[in-house]
Amino acid sequence: MSSSRLQGALSSLAWANVALHAAGLGLAWFGIRAGSVAVPLAARMAYLADRPAGWIWGWGIWMACPLLLVAFMAVLRSCLPAPGPAADLALACAAAGMSVDLLCDVIQIQALPLVAAGPVSLFLVLERIAFTGGATVANGFYTVGIVLMILCLRPVASVPARLAGWATGISGAVMVLSGLLLSPALLLASTGPTIGFYCLWTVLVARDLRQDRP
């Protein structure tokens, strides 16, 4: 693929990431929050037992987000002036995060509503696997991948893009911690900034690379 087509694809993927992650955040508030660890156990189990459409569609949107993230990272690697091992590792980390994320999302969509009317212990086990797997393991891989890509982009990325990238890494690290501590408060505090800074980073990086290669 030519350089100009790669840059165009990168820009399109950046804005697609923005749109889909924004939709995910909206559905997280209106469809997912009532069944999340942010509400009391009995209330969220009762909510999930009815298999609410907002929960299903909300997690469905979040399943699409990792696909766009990995696609963006793959095209970004191809746009680098000299892709090296660090860029390859960044892409591998993003792909590993996507694999874990998709598995955890399947647990959220299929398993949790299925056991919500059953034993509390089984529900809690699956909920904790999905919570820590998504917030800590998957997001940890994403965070490492983005930080590695920031380092690869030093010759071509502007200061705003680098700052947005490092802000993504810092807030992503707080999300990792929220999964380890099983802290809904930390998760709520870090999710918005992580997604927001990540989306800003994609747009700024795509702009910088388009300017760098007329």
**How many C-beta neighbours within 10 Å does residue 43 have?**
11
Cβ neighbours for 156, distance < 8 A, ≥ 6 positions apart: 80, 81, 208, 209, 212
Which pLDDT does position 3 carry in this prediction?
76
User: Residue 137 sits in which domain range?
Assistant: 3-212
Cβ neighbours for 171, distance < 8 A, ≥ 6 positions apart: 190, 193, 194, 197
Which pLDDT does position 1 carry in this prediction?
58
From first to last of its 214 residues, the chain has per-residue pLDDT tens of 567 788 889 999 999 999 999 999 999 999 999 999 989 999 999 999 999 999 999 999 999 999 999 999 999 999 988 889 999 999 999 999 999 999 999 999 999 999 998 999 999 999 999 999 999 999 999 999 999 999 999 988 999 999 999 999 999 999 999 999 989 999 999 999 999 999 999 999 999 998 654 4
CB 35 within 8 A of CB 112: yes
Which pLDDT does position 214 carry in this prediction?
45
Residue of 159, 138, 170 whose CA lies nearest to 204: 159
Rg, C-alpha atoms of the chain: 18
For the chain, how many helices (H) and strands (E)? 9, 0
Catalogue the long-range contacts made by 26-29 (C-beta closer than 8 Å, 24 or more residues apart). 27/54, 27/57, 27/58, 27/61, 28/58, 28/62, 28/191
Q: How many domains does the chain have?
A: 1
User: Could you tell me what percentage of the chain is helix, strand and coil, using 3-state DSSP and rounding each to the nearest 5?
Assistant: 85, 0, 15
